[in-house]
Amino acid sequence: MSNVPVAVVTGSNKGIGFAIVRALCKQFPGDVYLTARDPGRGQKAVAKLQEEGLCALFHQLDIDDLQSIRALRDFLKEKYGGLNVLVNNAGIAFKVHDTTPFAVQAEVTLKTNFFGTRNVCTELLPLVKPYGKVVNVSSMVSSSALGGCSRELQQKFRSNTITEDELVELMTKFVEDTKKSVHEKEGWPNTAYGVSKIGVTVLSRIQARMLNEKRKGDHILLNACCPGWVRTDMAGPQATKSPDEGAETPVYLALLPSDADGPHGQFLSNKTVRTW
Ligand code: NAP
């Protein structure tokens, strides 16, 4: 078994994830795994980094596919006995003018952004080694969407005692409410992407709390963040940040020094803790 530290970035064949891998290749003292659901796109991305003189390793990972997640988990367990850095970056967003019915957008978006990310955490968090770092890429849109929720929902999402099961129940209810066209009446904002990212931010707060309760001595730091508005296939060419700039906050959180006792359980943008 290798004692080399290991970092894993989900959805990193392009966009912000690719830029996070590029930065980690330069700064992380260990093996860096670029992962992609499509091995062809993943290998191509690794080759692109190689041309820049950077050495990333590849492993397939489709966060929508539990088997794929478990195959990565078993690989990490066997080869490294765990992992040191996990960046949950993979995500999807329908374009504003997409005509796909809202209920379908809600189901598809929540499936990857919330349920897929949660499944990765369920399988990989137990493997994170002492002093490890976990970064969940959320969005400022989670904050604005929270502001668009009913007072009752806001209270639940800001609660310091909400459980993961309760959060899953709420995310499932959103999808069900969109199918019945009652989501607005039920206090939800009109954004599937926004609700999925509320899920990611709140999940991060819960996971950090669980680490405090169950693995305090392991000094693992887990946070959610917004990369900013970044020029990628998702956000388009008008966005203000380059992918490398978008990677800055996630990479800052992934490389917090081992003697840091925070941030932990926070939501950050531009390397600054934001009020949730
Ligand atoms: P992007 O260019 O569209 O890249 C998204 C990445 O996620 C791609 O590599 C994509 O793979 C991958 N992905 C999607 N579904 C996946 C799945 N089921 N399993 C594994 N990988 C999957 O988007 P981006 O702008 O870099 O976004 C990265 C993250 O930042 C997302 O979580 C996004 O919500 C968040 N974010 C972005 C912005 C922005 O302005 N760009 C702002 C706030 C937050 P394929 O190539 O196979 O599709």
Paired tokens of 76: 């990490």
Q: CB-based contacts of 160: which residues, under 8 Å, 6+ apart?
A: 205, 209
Ligand 1 mutation pick, 13, 234, 248, max ligand atoms within 8 A of CB = 234
Nearest CA to ligand 1 atom 32: 91
pLDDT tens-place string over residues 169-191: 999 999 999 999 999 999 999 99
Catalytic positions: 193
Q: Check residue 243 and give its pLDDT.
A: 98
**Share of residues in the chain with pLDDT > 90 (%):** 99
Ligand 1 mutation pick, 18, 34, 37, 140, max ligand atoms within 8 A of CB = 37
pLDDT tens-place string over residues 101-149: 999 999 999 999 999 999 999 999 999 999 999 999 999 999 999 999 9
Neighbours of 32 (CB within 10 A): 25
Residue 73 pLDDT grade (very low, low, confident, very high; cuts 50, 70, 90): very high
Give me the phi and psi of 88, to 5 degrees please.
-85, 95
Q: Check residue 2 and give its pLDDT.
A: 87
Nearest CA to ligand 1 atom 43: 139
Q: Which of 37, 167, 158, 166 is nearest to 92 (CA)?
A: 37
Please identify, by atom number, the ligand 1 atom nearest to the C-alpha of residue 137. Answer: 32
Distance 185 CA to ligand 1 centre (A): 30
